[in-house]
Chains A and B, each alone.
Chain A
Amino acid sequence: MANIAEQRIKREFREVVKSDEVAACNIKVELVNDNFTELRGEIGGPPDTAYEGGNFKLEINIPETYPFNPPQVKFVTKIWHPNISSVTGAICLDILKDQWAAAMTLRTVLLSLQALLAAAEPDDPQDAVVAQQYKDNNAIFQRTARHWTTAYAGGPNIDAELEEKVTSMKNMGFDEHKARVALSTKDWDVTRAAEYLIS
């Protein structure tokens, strides 16, 4: 790995660990291996959103050309968000692509992702299904996102009705996660979700 990338990650690491924002905004970075190419990030869901109370884990890969090219970041924790793929966790965020600037740091990236959770951009979606639901049926979207936060990110709000629907499909013999995806995609209509899974 190029020396500048490693040097910078070391410095940034200190910055993230040291700054007061870490405690205030719930951002965290950990090392995965010793050569500073793979990192594990964590952000807390922003307050007053469907993601409140959840902890979202991120996989961060530092390219050799960092900081001249952006780090590759994706969600490890499953999340229901228009700009994040519910399947792969890939993120659609301009600063991780063409709007990256070399003065940005891991700290600013994590804060930007937290801001993205608070302010989705449904017109520039990563997950078309989620974005459509966000625009057409925002109440259902909010409930679904909150339910996913509870199911995958340790959020505190249990939505009994949605839990029940997942359980009922699980009892039909479907995999829990697949059932949740199908129900979320079909606006929590059990019949249509079952048809979707069978077809």
Chain B
Amino acid sequence: MNTATGASSTSNDDRQSPNEDDQNGTYECNICLETANDPVVSMCGHLFCWSCLHQWLETRPNRQTCPVCKAGISKDKVIPIYGRGNPNPQDPREKLPPRPAGQRSEPETSNPFQNFGFGGDGNFQFSFGIGAFPFGMFASTFNLNDGRPGPPSPNSPQQAEEQFLSKVFLWVAIIFIFWLLIA
């Protein structure tokens, strides 16, 4: 039982610095159990290293669930945590896609529906649907955040192309109206 002796010496160490141990436990990654490196947090509030969570999501792409509470989880729905100091100035993440960026939501999101969700882990998907509903409607009704590109800059090849196309369509329209008249 060489392991038992190893464990007892460890617990002695822990007793010497109990506060430090508690502190570390709060910010441990739920997968590797070490202090989270490149930390991200899921919508259900569970903390992971980005590399650990990424590997978990890659392991089972068809059924992406939180490793702790099995709530739905995806790359787009985790929030990175940016502390003040950067413990690793040299970032060893070449092989991984970068940690997802933070999303800025507009301050007006304090609508009555928001209190509906985000509390329970299980009903998260459902609540989110309700909470987002009025915004979806606004966006489609008033054409806010329209995704189409603006007009091209003058004298660019795109502009020439568009002018050519509009001429072609104009002639097609004229020919069509003419055909209608003689038919």
Contacts and interface: CB of A to CB of B under 8 A. Distances in A.
A102 B2 CA distance: 28
Interface string A11-38: 1111001100000000000110000000
B56 A17 contact: no
B55 interface: yes
Contacts of B59: 65, 68-69, 102
Contact of B33 (A11, A65, A68): A11
A23 to B, nearest CB: 13
B30 A102 contact: yes
B30 to A, nearest CB: 4
B67 A8 contact: no
A8 B7 contact: no
Contacts of B2: 31
Contact of A14 (B7, B34, B66, B67): B7
A69 B31 CA distance: 11
B70 interface: yes
A174 B82 CA distance: 70
A8 B32 CA distance: 6
B31 A102 contact: yes
Nearest to A68: B59
A103 B52 CA distance: 11
A65 B31 CA distance: 12
Given A18-B11, A101-B68, A30 B3 contact: yes
A53 interface: no
B3 A67 contact: no
A104 B33 CA distance: 11
B65 A101 contact: yes
Interface in A94-111: 98, 101-104
Given A18-B11, A101-B67, A68 B56 contact: yes
A72 interface: no
B52 A102 contact: yes
A12 B34 CA distance: 11
B68 A103 contact: yes
A103 B30 contact: yes
A30 B6 CA distance: 12
Contact of A4 (B1, B32, B67): B32
B4 interface: yes
Contacts of B103: none
Contacts of B66: 101
- The winner among B33, B34, B55 for most chain A CB atoms within 10 A is B33
B27 to A, nearest CB: 15
30 contacts: A4-B52, A7-B32, A7-B34, A8-B32, A8-B33, A12-B33, A17-B3, A17-B7, A18-B10, A30-B1, A31-B2, A31-B3, A65-B59, A67-B31, A68-B56, A69-B59, A98-B63, A101-B65, A101-B66, A101-B67, A101-B68, A101-B70, A102-B52, A102-B56, A102-B67, A103-B30, A103-B46, A103-B67, A103-B68, A104-B67
